[in-house]
Amino acid sequence: MPFSPRAALLLLFFAAGSESRHVLELSLSRGVPAPVSPSAASVLDRRTTYAEEIVNYLDGGGYYVQVSVGNPPQNLTMLLDTGSSDSWVLGYDADICNSPDLQAIHGTGPCVDTFDLSKSSTAHMIKRDGFRITYLDGRSASGHYISDDFSIGGATVRALQMAYVTRTVRPTGILGLGFSISERTPTKYPNLMDAMFNQGSVGCKAYSLYLNDRRTDAGSILFGGVDTDKFIGPLDVLPLQRPPGSANFSSFEIEFDSVSLTFSNGTADLVLPTSILDHPAPAVLDSGTTLSYLPDKLAQPIFSAAGAVFDAALNLTLVDCVYADSSSNPPLQHVTFSFSSTSHIVVPLWSLILDVLPADYTPITSTPSPRMSKACVFGIQSAALLRRGGNNSSSNQSSSSSSVNQGQQRHKRGQKKSAEAPYALLGDTFLRSAYVVYDLTHAQIGLAQANLNSTTSSVVELSADNPGLPKLTGVAAQQTTFTPTPSVTRLFGPKTPPASAGSLHQNGAAGGSGGSLRWWGWGLSGEVVFVTFVTAFWIVVGGGAFCFV
């Protein structure tokens, strides 16, 4: 399906400051992307750094990349997901794309774009009906394993194995960037990260993620390199954790020490160490997840400090939208996430607030709640929702297919039976404040405070020959401030929102009452956005990340 030319920013460049031979860089932007022409890609292919478009809509949920698959190339939009390992494209014959009834049931709107296997001369069927993912709410995505040429940012991976999905509940494919051991098939294969390395596109199976300011339309993902202009201070290098008893790494999971709250009245910071919990709580860093989930004992003090309330109808914690303005002066200024004695990420309160509900929506709470000027979704939720969200204790909330469930299974040893998932799941509301290097080759995470709204680039190429991530230092301090840009209209689904919040549909929230939530709301810049929330949010049985867009 073609996109409106107003729907997104055009292809960006990002080559400045890089003379690397094995670095692939893609731009990120908010809004549904315009297709990238083959001519633009061919120009970039002659450079040492490549650019492509990734998009974020739902005012902060879901980052999308435009790729092309097949010969001649077919342009496709895929969800960027660090929490899954399979990449899958949406077939033109997918049930969701050909049934308005299914689109209405799942609240998706029309499919964004699709792939026609028969029109590619380089496509090969690998295993018919070999791909299947089951989500926490009982729905699934299934199809065939195929191989075909896959172009991303002007670089082409030949004969990449991926899934061709014919049955699903989402209108775009998924670009999985996790460990191949977490693929949804017993016989593992070289996934996108493996293939990019094996075919020489990058010198290391690693990529750096810079989601940038919630209010902007610019960010980047850099394959095979680190951009030192995009973060502040030293890049802390943290080891990944393995599942107990396993020799393999399967998700981007790191040790998590504490969260601390900073208040505007000068009160001493409230520090909440993970040691207060009755189970381990490592952190999984997952771009496929819109919100961030903390163990309940850590989340509840944050809710109290922010004046947030739990809405039983949405199965989500909400907060007053007044604090979405960075110039506001809320009692709670920011939340700091600590992963080691030196690794800390500060997340301001305003960046944790998503203005996606109807203007007249009133929270449904079990206790009297503070009066809100307008209700917003809070970017931090209780991890109790992850376990309560389904009837399978090994399920996770995700739009992807691999990592979080692995995280659950890792910590059953010596764990007391708990009503919540035994980990923290840090999604986009956390990742926008961080610069994260996902290093699969060395099983490490590089982490630093993001230098938001950076307009320059200084790329360091990574190598698999090195023993680990290099010691790198970014800029000395935050360099720029946010400058509003003209709004772009982002439409996904109906162009006219319902007249009132009474049009909000709940088919039993899978995050506690099973099913999906759907509403139309006004975006942060006033543009109309069609919003679909699956409150168990695309949770994958057997492993996964998740997103609810």
**DSSP letter, residue 37:** P
Is residue 479 situated within a structural domain? no
Same domain, 375 and 435: yes
Residue 3 has pLDDT above 60, yes or no: no
Same domain, 302 and 429: yes
pLDDT value of residue 139:
59
Same domain, 248 and 355: yes
Same domain, 276 and 400: yes
Residue 19 has pLDDT above 50, yes or no: no
Name the percent of the chain lying above pLDDT 70.
70
For residues 213-231, average pLDDT: 88
Same domain, 394 and 443: yes
Is residue 540 situated within a structural domain? no
In the structure encoding, which two tokens stand for residue 537, read together? 């949010």
Contact 152, 59 (CB under 8 A): no
Query: Of 385 and 458, which is predicted with more confidence?
Result: 458
Contact 489, 7 (CB under 8 A): yes
Average pLDDT over all residues of the chain: 75
Contact 541, 399 (CB under 8 A): no
**DSSP letter, residue 450:** E
For residues 315-320, average pLDDT: 93
CATH number where 274 lies: 2.40.70.10
Is residue 477 situated within a structural domain? no
Same domain, 287 and 199: no
Terminal alpha carbon distance of the chain: 18
Same domain, 339 and 380: yes
Number of domains in the chain: 2
Is residue 401 situated within a structural domain? yes
pLDDT value of residue 403:
37
The phi, psi pair for 387, rounded to 5°, reads -80, -40
The pTM score is 0.79
Is residue 538 situated within a structural domain? no
**DSSP letter, residue 481:** -
Digit-coded pLDDT (tens) for 408-418: 333 333 344 44
532: left (phi over 0), alpha (psi -120 to 50) or beta: beta
What ranges make up the beta strands (E) of 459-516?
459-461, 505-506
Residue 343 has pLDDT above 60, yes or no: yes
Q: Could you say which of 227, 249, 281 is where a domain stops?
A: 227
pLDDT value of residue 89:
97
User: What residue type is 503 in one-letter code?
Assistant: S
Same domain, 243 and 167: no
Is residue 116 situated within a structural domain? yes
What CA–CA distance (Å, rounded) separates 161 from 529?
34
Residue 63 has pLDDT above 90, yes or no: no
Q: Could you say which of 206, 227, 248 is where a domain stops?
A: 227
Same domain, 246 and 220: no
What CA–CA distance (Å, rounded) separates 213 from 219?
8
Is residue 12 situated within a structural domain? no
Same domain, 198 and 265: no
Domain that holds residue 93: 24-227
